[in-house]
Structure 1
Amino acid sequence: MTQDNRGTREISSNEMLDWNDRIIPVAHSKGGVKAVAHPYDNLIRTGITAWPPPEIVQKFYKSRQSRAFEGKDLEIATSGLGYYCDLQSLHSEDAITWSVFGTIARSPQTILENWLKHLFRLIDLPDANTDNAEIFLWRRIPHPDTLVSGGPEIDVGITTSNTVILCEAKWLSGIGAAQGKAKDKDQIQLRGEFLAKYGTAIFPGRLHKVVLGISLLPDAFKDTTPEGVSFRTTSWQHLSALTSHPLANELALYFEWKRGNSLTPKNAKHKNANSAI
């Protein structure tokens, strides 16, 4: 047992402090990955009155990774929802995607546009406008090879009067390869090809067509976008440090909590650490 930061009581091995120093239950997978008992304990909810939002509800599917837990840990991992979902894992990129982008997407337009001004400066898009801005999460686009429904899932989409950005979010995992109809493309290439082929018709007036990779790791992506599409990368650390975010203080604490409970000497050197378990 260890004592919590407030010195009020001992914390057991199946408990931890969250980013606000609140004691919460935690499970440990056989691979050593921490998972909270309820996915809400892995998400920033400050200021979101209509909770849970539909984007979060759609992520509550049952995960096959429950097999990574056993005994007391399995009991904790399935205690919140009655089953385990990947959003509970501290390796979940979806959890930080919501906490950064889902919260700002629900901010008043003036606050959103001011934050986007700083984001565009961060990723070197000086001519990108911020007016008529909208952010969406986890929407699927038609497959760029076949145009069937249920194509690639866009982790974050950002549109303004002259810019469209399709984001691929990672935490510790590498980019997905063997994608596309012939299994010869990666995730960045597919998103870039969609914008190159159909971006002008679908997003008229958007002069800037961008694929953005976001990761905890510095070398998670390579540029495989086609001509006519820009490629950018940034890190969760830099995003969480943007002081124009309305929850900047909490977000900085959340990022450090998540990073501190994810990185170990083994996976800090990275390669393909699994995002869920």
Structure 2
Amino acid sequence: MSAVETGPGLRADCGKCFGLCCVALAFARSADFAVDKDSGEPCRNLTDGHRCGIHSRLRADGYRGCTVYDCFGAGQQVSQVTFGGRDWRGDPDGGRAMFDALPRMRQLHELLAYLTEVRDRPAAAELHPAADRELARVRALTGLGAPELAALDLDAERAAVNPLLLRASELIRAQAPGRRRAGRRGADLLGARLRGADLRGTDFRGACLIGADLRGADLRLADLIGADLRDADLRGADLTGAVFLTQSQVNAARGDAGTRVAPGLDRPAHWA
């Protein structure tokens, strides 16, 4: 078992979604987006069939941010379950309730992904019964109707799961050989020079690793939950077994053919 592997229902299926991320999310003109767009405003590239008209050239056309985003399957859950397959284009409120539901559902699906990893990690076997209970509880929340979902205290839900994730991280990282690494939780490592560093089992929870030089670094069993890996240079790095590493984080970083990632994560097309 390795990083966050999104199983059935936790991997985006755009064919079962009404292009919600292309409408619900707001973005500002920047290096990641070519134009400004308000929440609820359809992206100019969204087709009538709810597909991206420039999907194959998003980065070349200035929409790098779109290639990083991952809904963890929340898009199809909201489209097909919460709203019963109803298209936002014909909705009385113009889809506003659906757009509001997407980021909330995404948070729940992200929790499911983390809990699934805990359940699948042999090193966290003592936590498997608790993980099963939390999985069942959070799955039930994903089936709530739109009004109930809107009223849900998501901060409280994350707080309820967090102790389990912290303990799982400790158990998994304890497998790292050698001395116990100094924690880097929440550290500001913007542009840090960590080329070739032995970072096995390091706690990078919530750390800022934007633009960090991690070429050839050994990140096996490192906890990367919430770490910002935008433009981090992972060429030749080893991330196999990294803890709570998501597809979005991988997509945001730079890598190459020598970068090792978990089998459950896709190698981004923009990696050389």
Q: Which is helix-richer, 1 or 2?
A: 2
The alignment's TM-score, normalised by the length of structure 2, stands at 0.28
The alignment's TM-score, normalised by the length of structure 1, stands at 0.28
